[in-house]
Chain A
Amino acid sequence: MNGAASGGEPASGGPHTQGGDPSGYPIAQRIPQEVLDAEAGRLAALAKAPAHKRIGGYARLAGPGFMGAALTLGAGTLTSSMLSGATFGYRTLWLIWLACGLGLFMMAAMARFTCKGGFRVIQVQNRRHSWLIGSLLTALVGTAVVAVIFNFGQVALGTHLIESLAPFAGFSFPAEYNWVLYVGVTSWLILSYGRRGGTGTRLVEGVMKAAIALMIVAFGAVLVVVGVDWGAAARGAFVPWLPGGGQGLDLFIASSAAAVGVMDWVFFHYAGLGRGWGRNHESLARFDLFAGLFIPFVVVNFLVIGVFAATLFPQGITPESAPELAAALMPLLGPTWSQILFYVGFLAVPITTTVAMSLAGAMAIHEAFGWEPDTASWRWKISALLPQVAFLAAWNANPVWLVIFIAAFLSLANNVVGWSMYLLLNDRRVLGEDRSKSYLWNLGILLQVTLLNAIAITYIFNRLGLW
């Protein structure tokens, strides 16, 4: 279905090899050949179809981009947007589309590695840039450990939201008990991925799409209830503004570089390989990035910022955590149905992030150790369910020292992974004639790499007491 990079190193599909055929990725091998052929036929027909039919067709075939949106729209991102809306009103809306838009350049590089490179990027990093950058910084630190540690925040938020929703149904369901429901549902979705000849993957992607639609409907309806200052929202979306001093620079750097990070890069690449994407899928991959990742990320964050800008901001209320923010919002939402809707839409956030992070972690662990991913194996199941140790968060367990350690390591390592991806995209030995030939593309990637550099540098300055 796919060829190796034209002019690049010779292709081979096994572990620790550089080139390869994406349909040779073990998760894609579980998809029947006739299904892959039928998709290739649909793509060929769509390429000649009018724009509106092409968009509809691509929307049905897309998936990894929506999974990417589900991954990045987690407790941290949403809490940051809620705080931003409550503290600064609509004025930081512009940062959302700029941050995610900048991230698309690197994501397009990942799509190139998947579709035209036809290799597994971490293995190529190991070969070209050493295992320190591939297996250690990209796979283990940047993806697998992050999946485990950051899932504590997702479980804490998810179980809190279930606890908050239960009284609307007339009963009590504390986090100490409802974590079983949270872990059960997310584990079922995690273990469905890659099963039953590809239908499991489509099921998970379908749930992700539905969950994102639910977030948009829920937060959109709540925003209609609380009202929008359209003039202020338009100014916030298109007129750059930052708070003064170091706080403004911190906010800009953190927002710009954190919207799409190493885990998002890795997950989109391997989720595409898992779908059997090849040379003919690059247009679909780019559509998926725009319609599946960029649009949902921007819309959901706009809506959340809008809700808090219209409610808590005018009153000067700025709670610090997501549960406190949600609780402070409730009396201002009016009808009970809008409160329920907000909680339900909000619950979709940690659930989808737990699922996507767990899958990304499993893929990364397998790549780091050169294991072939077999979704039916115990090794895969244990790797994928490792982040569920975060069920301890239901008892307010929060490994603060680990979070600080990992955040520090990430701050210092993410830019190096960004360098590695930029170098691979421009490496003739890796991509041959499919390497980047676009000045603008390289420029976008370098701007993101520079922001990642800035995070590492400000972190060191902070530790030295200089910032």
Chain B
Amino acid sequence: MRARVWGLIVNLAANAMALWGVASVMRTGTGWIWIVIGGVATAVCISALAVPAGSADPGE
């Protein structure tokens, strides 16, 4: 369960990174790299966190 909590925190940071990129692109036209890194990290976090807990979840 602790691993899932950390996964949620990393996901939040990735979301912030992607939105920071969006805000930066809207203001200055630059910052696409943050959108890409944040977007990919968000996709990875969500994909990993969606895996159901097994009978012997190492995170618990």
Measured CB to CB, the residues of A under 8 A from B are: 245-246, 249, 415, 419, 422-423, 426-429, 435-440, 442-443, 446-447, 449-450, 453-454, 457-458, 461, 466-467
- Interface readout for B4-39 with A: 1 if CB under 8 Å, 0 if not? 110010011001100110110011000000000000
| B1 and A439 within 8 A (CB) | no
Min CB–CB distance A432 → chain B (angstroms): 11
Chain A to chain B contacts (Cβ below 8 Å), 22 pairs: A246-B26, A419-B8, A422-B4, A422-B8, A422-B49, A423-B5, A426-B1, A427-B1, A428-B60, A436-B52, A442-B49, A442-B50, A443-B46, A443-B47, A446-B46, A446-B49, A449-B11, A450-B15, A454-B15, A454-B19, A461-B20, A466-B23
Q: Beyond the given A449-B8, A453-B15, A457-B12, could you list 7 further A-B residue pairs with CB under 8 A, ordered by the A residue number?
A: A246-B22, A422-B8, A427-B53, A438-B52, A442-B49, A446-B46, A453-B11
Residue contact B57 to A461, C-beta cutoff 8 Å: no
State the CA gap A183–B15 with chains docked (Å): 43
Closest A residue to B24 by beta carbon equals: A466
B52's nearest neighbour on chain A, judged by CB, is A437
* Chain A residue nearest to B16 in the complex (CB): A457
Q: Judge whether B51 and A442 touch: CB under 8 Å.
A: yes
The 4 closest A-B pairs by CB, nearest first: A442-B50, A443-B50, A453-B15, A437-B52
Q: A423-B5, A428-B57 are in contact. Are A439 and B52 (CB under 8 A)?
A: yes
B16 → chain A closest CB, angstroms = 5
Q: Give chain B nearest CB distance to A460 CB in angstroms.
A: 8
Residues in chain A near residue B4, CB distance under 8 A: 422-423, 426
* Among candidates B19, B23, B50, residue contacting A446 with C-beta atoms closer than 8 Å: B50
B12 to A: closest C-beta gap in Å: 5
Report Cα–Cα, A419/B7, bound state, in Å: 10
Total contacts A-B at CB 8 Å: 70
* Contact A442–B5 (Cβ < 8 Å): no
Q: Is the CB of B12 within 8 A of A426?
A: no
Complex-state Cα separation, A461 to B26, whole angstroms:
13
- A422-B8, A447-B46, A449-B8 in contact; A467/B15 too (CB < 8 A)? no
User: Is the beta-carbon distance between A439 and B50 smaller than 8 angstroms?
Assistant: yes
Q: Which of B8, B23, B49, B51 contacts A467 (CB 8 A)?
A: B23
Q: Across the two chains, which residue of chain A brings its CB closest to B42?
A: A450
List residues of chain B with CB within 8 A of the CB of A443: 46-47, 50
With a CB–CB cut-off of 8 A, which chain A residues contact B60? Answer: 428-429
B54 to chain A, nearest CB (A): 9
How near does chain A come to B26, taking the closest CB pair, in angstroms? 6
Q: Which residues of A contact B12 (CB under 8 A)?
A: 415, 453, 457
Contacts of B26 in A (CB 8 A): 245-246
- Please, which residues of chain B bring their CB within 8 A of the CB of A429? 60
With A and B bound together, what is the CA distance between A67 and B42 in angstroms?
Answer: 34
In the complex, what distance in Å separates the CA atom of A437 from the CA atom of B52? 5
Contacts of A435 in B (CB 8 A): 52-53
Q: Considering only CB atoms, which chain A residue lies closest to B19 in the complex? A: A457
Q: Distance in Å from the Cβ of A117 to the closest Cβ of chain B? A: 15
CA distance A422 to B60 in the complex (A): 15
Determine whether the beta carbon of A457 is less than 8 Å from that of B15.
Answer: yes
Q: Closest chain B residue to A439 by CB distance?
A: B50
Specify which of B12, B16, B50 lies most central, judged by the most chain A CB atoms within 10 Å of its CB. Answer: B50
Taking CB atoms, residues of chain B closer than 8 Å to A428 are: 53, 57, 60
| CB closest chain-B residue, reference A427 | B1
Which residues of the other chain, B, contact A249 by a CB distance below 8 angstroms? 22
Also in contact, A450 and B46, with CB within 8 A (given A428-B57, A461-B19): yes
Set of chain B residues within 8 Å of A442, measured between Cβ atoms: 49-52
Shortest distance between the CB of A96 and any CB in chain B (Å): 23
In the assembled complex, the Cα of A461 lies from the Cα of B53 at a distance in Å of 34
Q: Which residues of B contact A454 (CB under 8 A)?
A: 15, 19
Report the Cα distance A466→B25, complex, angstroms.
11
CA distance A11 to B35 in the complex (A): 46
Instruction: Given A439-B52, A446-B50, A466-B23, verify A423-B42 contact (CB < 8 Å).
Output: no
Chain B residues near A457: list those with CB within 8 A.
12, 15-16, 19
Residues of A within 8 A of B23 (CB): 461, 466-467
CA distance in complex: A177, B35 (Å): 54
Report the Cα distance A435→B4, complex, angstroms. 14
Report the minimal beta-carbon distance from A168 to chain B, rounded to whole angstroms: 48
**In the assembled complex, which residues on chain A have CB atoms less than 8 Å from the CB atom of B53?**
426-428, 435-436
B20 proximity list for chain A (CB < 8 A): 461, 466
Residues of B within 8 A of A423 (CB): 1, 4-5, 8
- CB neighbours of B8 from chain A (8 A): 419, 422-423, 449
